[in-house]
Amino acid sequence: MTDLIWERAEPPERRVPGRLSRVAIVRTALTLADADGLEAVSLRNVAGALDVGPMRLYRYVDTKDELLDLLVDAVYGEIPPATGSTWADVLRSIAHGTRGAALRHPWFAELLGGRPQFGPAALAHTEASLTALRTTGLEDVDLLMGSLGSLSSYVIGAVRKETTEHRAEQASGLNQREFQQLTGPYLVRMFATGHYPSLERSVREASHLTPSESFDLGLQLLVDGVAHRLGQ
């Protein structure tokens, strides 16, 4: 079985025809992904940006999937350690730290939600999160892992929604309010049919929260669910 990228030694540095390293490769790939999305990330494009032949990169990274794993781990390294004197505060800290990193790198959430991430930064993030939660008294393993899993699913979904809205705004040239003004007359006509009374009431009475307010509300509902399970 092929060894994982995390255990594979980096080849000896070659100063000629140019200095190259996994750090330089990942830094360049991050720049491409942040500027133009994951579609721009390929070994060929990274090699071009580094002004080296694509074959030289294969000494450091075997596949694009490995490169994406390295990118994900680099972003995990940006997430600050969780803080808080209560388990609820720790969960909020994890959520906001992850959301901040994902908004800085809009492609990040697209690569989460599948198999666990085992890069050193991802492992360190998980270890710190578990330790912080246990320190506040959340000891039951199933509830501990379930809380983190539910939190991760919520954050990924919320951030994906937020970044998708941003991409739609860029593609259409319409911000959210302008889009609502465009579609508003259609919804009024549909509501007038009387077929959607619950939806109409929700639209008319909703507070129309900002993305940050909406994120915090959903997060509070999740925290409330954990508290209920704990009998608090």
Superfamily of domain 80-230: Tetracycline Repressor, domain 2 (1.10.357.10)
User: In the chain, which stretches have pLDDT less than 70?
Assistant: 1-2, 13-18
CATH of 22-75, one of 1.10.10.60, 3.30.450.70, 3.40.50.720, 2.40.10.220: 1.10.10.60
**Beta-carbon contacts of residue 191 (< 8 Å; ≥ 6 apart):** 199, 200, 203
Give pLDDT, residue 14. 59
Give pLDDT, residue 2. 58
Domain ranges of the chain: 22-75, 80-230
Give pLDDT, residue 1. 42
Name the DSSP letter for residue 7.
T
pTM of the complete model: 0.87
Give the C-alpha separation, 96 to 10, whole Å. Answer: 34
Could you give the C-alpha distances from 178 to 5, 75, 98, 201, 208, in angstroms and in order?
46, 33, 29, 21, 14
Give pLDDT, residue 13. 62
